[in-house]
Amino acid sequence: MQPEKVQLTYKGSKVQIAYSLRRTQGVAVVFLHGLGCSKRDFQAAFEYPALTEYTLLTFDLPGCGDSPYPETLALDIDDLVEITHLVLSALQVKEIILVGHSMGGLVALLYTERFRNNVRGFINVEGNLSAEDCFFSRRVAQSDFSGFTRTVFTELKDRMKHAENSGFREYAADLEKADKKAYYDYSPSLVEYSDTGELLDRYCALDVPKLFIYGAENRSLSYLPRLTERGCALGEIPASNHFPFHDNPTAFYHAIVSFLNAGLDTV
């Protein structure tokens, strides 16, 4: 689908957001990507037959994909929540099912807390719930910007480019377009939220239908049993790691459709 752009004003600065949107009469499924990722991660949703009846929206957060990072701002996770709200308001997308991956899962969690009336369901795709989830952002947060741009970011891209897992190699392609300052600015607040120890309880407390999706290669995540104990639904995607929409898109979108078919009747 050909991307479009919407221009917003945030904290007195112009912010341009690239997005892909297909409108239907159905409920809107909104995809939020992870740190350094892009809307490209979810383009297959637009071709998935069982999602034809749904409105679909995915967009690039500032400094990711085709959305430039504003020179006059230093943004953090809370800013991304507000910008997400501005994007949805500008595009008049309401009554949404959020699908948030990694950092986008945290943005979706906070969005659901703040704008509950607009959310009908939440699919968390290995979104940050614990300190152990900061396997990219923690090293960034521990570096100064010079060291990050000179060493850390270069090493990360090289490591992802040569990874055995196809999802990580796709991530490397996204990192080629990611703005270094955006990646650096987002990381400290991502780590700070994850280190509080509160996110899992806050996720479980959300009073919306929700599903936590994870790749089968990550079934050792320490908090999965706690989610089960709290009655939170889990979905394991076979033959997948942290990027199940790349590793096994058929199973990934099947899990989403199953949630949509089962969960919306209870809202």
SS3 7: strand
Query: What whole-number distance in Å separates Cα of residue 211 and Cα of residue 234?
Result: 6
Dihedral over Cα of 8, 13, 14, 15: its sign: negative
- Which parts of the chain sit beneath pLDDT 50? 265-267
| β-strands 96-101, 119-125 pairing | parallel
Contact 109, 202 (CB under 8 A): yes
Write the DSSP symbol of residue 69: P
126: Cα separation from own chain's centroid: 9
Task: Give the separation between CA 193 and CA 174, rounded to whole angstroms.
Answer: 24
The answer to whether 132 and 216 are in contact (CB under 8 A) is no
pLDDT at 267: 43
* pLDDT tens, residue by residue, 29-70: 999 999 999 999 999 999 999 999 999 999 999 999 999 999
